[in-house]
Each structure stands twice: as C-alpha cells, then as structure tokens.
Structure 1
Amino acid sequence: MATTFRKLLNLNNENQSLADSSLVVVDAQREYLDGNLPLTGIEKALDQISHILYRARSLGTNIIHVQHFSPKGAPLFNPDDKFVDIIDEVKPIGTEPIIKKNLPDSFAGTDLDEHIKASGKKDLVVVGFMTHACISATVRSALNYGYHTTVIANACATRDLPTLQNSDVIPAGTVHDATMAALSDLFARVITDEKALKD
C-alpha cells in the first residue's frame, strides 16, 4: 500500500488551527477568471477562498495576499491590464498586505517571509492559483524556510497541460491531483475542504 514520507517520518501538523496561522492567498487574479488564462474549476475554488477568508477575518488570522506581475506589454499579468487585478470577491480589505511577485515562488525576491515572521504566526495555510505552478513552488519553498504548511485542495485550481510530445492533453483535474499528491508526500498537509481546518 502506498504511503507518504510525512507518515514515514511522523511529520504531523493536523492540530494546526486557522486562528494561529498565516493565510497566504496566491494569485487570485482576474487573468485566471475572465482573462487570457482561465482555469478549470476556478469558481468553486473562489467560493472556498471566500469562505476561508471570512473565517480568517473573524478569527484575527494573519492574512497575506500575493499578486503576480509580468513586465509591461506581456501577454499575461501585464501590470497595465485589468486582468492583473485581484478578483473582487477575494480582494484584500483593511490593512491586509499585498506581496507583489514576478516568479512562481511567492518567497523569491519578496518580503513574504518577513511578513509571516513579523506576525508571529508561522504555520501557513496556502490557497490560490495555479496548483502546479505558483502553489507548488510556494509550498515547496515554505518548507525550506522552516514553515509547516496546510494546503486546501478545493481552494486551488489549474488548467489542462500538453504532454511532452504535445500529442495529447493532461486534464486539469489530473494535473491538480498529481500536484497535491506530490505536495502531500513531504511538503505539506493537504486537506480537501476548508471546513477540515479547525478554527
């Protein structure tokens, strides 16, 4: 029977609570909703993110938003284009910070680590887009920074990808599930639904 490194190494953060965590919302931007790179299942993921944000705000959770930017004139995430904006239903409120990045890893070249450390809430809850790219890169990097991370699978989404030979398509659901399986092997606790994370 298949098992994970986390189980073999007895790594466990199942007692992690939302109130004592930093919630990192990665790239919840219009490019993925009604822009040039729509994702499969993004509406359901946004519903999950909305719910977890509501809970987090009521609990006083440290909430950090991450926003991706490409160079001016780029076909995706152009800083002069409306599709770079964070989606209305999950926009920051009050003093919730926005970390601006230009690489898949939300820690690379940003002050995300400093924001987390300053809050004193060093367990992470990560949600957002895309599963196989910026979510995977950020969660893997978080382990290098010494953080314990929970990923909410239903609060993430991705898209179809071509095979290496470009002769077929790997469905978004398969890409998503394979990425979550890889992350849950060592890098993070992966839960299906935001309701599985205790207050």
Structure 2
Amino acid sequence: MSKALVIIDIQNDYFEGGACELVGAQEASLKAKELLEYFREKKMPVLHVQHTSLYEGATFFLPDTYGMKIHENLNPREDETIIEKNFPNSFLDTSLEYELQIREIKELVICGMMSHMCVDATTRAASDMGYGCTVVHDACTTRDLEFLGEIVPAKSVHNSFMAALEGTYAKMVSCSEIVSD
C-alpha cells in the first residue's frame, strides 16, 4: 500500500507574532519536521497544503503576505507538491485527490494546524473517500476557543478533536511511533 505525508497549513501566521498565533506551534512544527525528514529519507511522497484566505474580512493567510508562506521548518523541496487551498477541507476545490491518485496513494499520514479545523476536516474527508488515515497527534496543534462565554484551552480542544477522530476516522500515533520504524 502506497503512503504519503500530508502536511496541513504549517504557515507563518500560526507562529509567534503571526496574525493567528497557535499554542505550541513551534513544538508541533518540529515534530512535523521530523516526519518530513523521515519521509524524505525513505523517498516516500510528501504533499504540503497551503491555505490562502480569499474571503472578505479575512485576518490571516492573506494572499502574497509573509504570514501565508509555509514556515521555514517545513520548507518544501522543488520535487514536493504544494496544494493550494481556500477552505478547511484540503480536498475541497483543490488538486489533492488528483495528486494522490496519480501516485496511487491509499494511506495518508496527516499532521498540521489547526487540529479543530483543517486537520479535522481533511481527515474526515479523506476517510470518507476511502483513504486509510493516520494522524500524528503531537505534530498538530490548535488555539484556545470560546464557547458559551467560556474559554476552552487549546490542549482540551486538541485532545477532544484527536479523541473524536480516533478509531472511526483515523489511527492516532505520536511522531516517535512513525520515525522509529
């Protein structure tokens, strides 16, 4: 079975000083970097997903800004595909499915940002489309959210979404479980 690494939205606006800073962005990106290096070493396919916000009133990932660029920890190589997207689901109106099909990919290893939005939407869509999904939970992160006037800490948001995906939609693993093979 052919496997690929899908790195979702590890872009500058999510890091310290960015327009939508996440909790633990640097740490998650370093885990994603380990995965990237592992996949490169094994000569397995890597697809980078890069979000650009096109809707009126967007505050981050604005076109042609530093914030929308892929973070330096995950700089794509020339031979690695960059999938441009405008929605949380990395398959919606993108070339991702085509890129996976031409490589005969059946299994996805997924990491990135934000756990509660783009990682969740992409994993659910991939699973629904028949892909085997593995989410590397420590190579993902998110931010605090608010619901009914109460702040929900990023760690709780992340853990809740990982727990909801586990089993039905994806296998959950740590970075070390992947790179120790």
The TM tier, using the shorter chain, reads over 0.9
Shift in Å at residue 121 of structure 1? 2.5
- Structure 1 distance, partners of 2:35, 2:4, is 12
Q: Which amino acid aligns with 2:24?
A: G
Q: Which amino acid aligns with 2:171?
A: R
Give the greater-gyration-radius structure (CA). 1
Task: Give the TM-score taking structure 2 as reference length.
Answer: 0.94
Answer yes or no: is the 8 Å Cα contact 1:49–1:90 preserved in 2. yes
- Structure 1 distance, partners of 2:76, 2:164, is 30
Gaps of 5+ in 1: 1-15
- Structure 2 distance, partners of 1:72, 1:30, is 19
Match of 2:29 among 26, 32, 46: 46
Match of 2:96 among 80, 94, 112: 112
Task: Give the TM-score taking structure 1 as reference length.
Answer: 0.86
- Structure 2 distance, partners of 1:173, 1:46, is 16
Aligned length: 178
The aligned counterpart of 1:156 is 140
The aligned counterpart of 1:8 is none
Answer yes or no: is the 8 Å Cα contact 1:71–1:78 preserved in 2. yes
- Structure 2 distance, partners of 1:119, 1:146, is 15
The aligned counterpart of 2:129 is 145
Answer yes or no: is the 8 Å Cα contact 1:153–1:180 preserved in 2. yes
- Structure 2 distance, partners of 1:94, 1:108, is 24
Instruction: Give the match's secondary structure for 1:174.
Output: helix
1:163-174 aligned within 5 A = 163=147, 165=148, 167-174=149-156
1:196 aligns with 2:177: yes
- Structure 2 distance, partners of 1:145, 1:185, is 16
The aligned counterpart of 2:167 is 185
Answer yes or no: is the 8 Å Cα contact 1:72–1:80 preserved in 2. no
The aligned counterpart of 1:4 is none
Percent of pairs with identical residues? 35
Identify, as 1 or 2, the structure richer in strand: 2
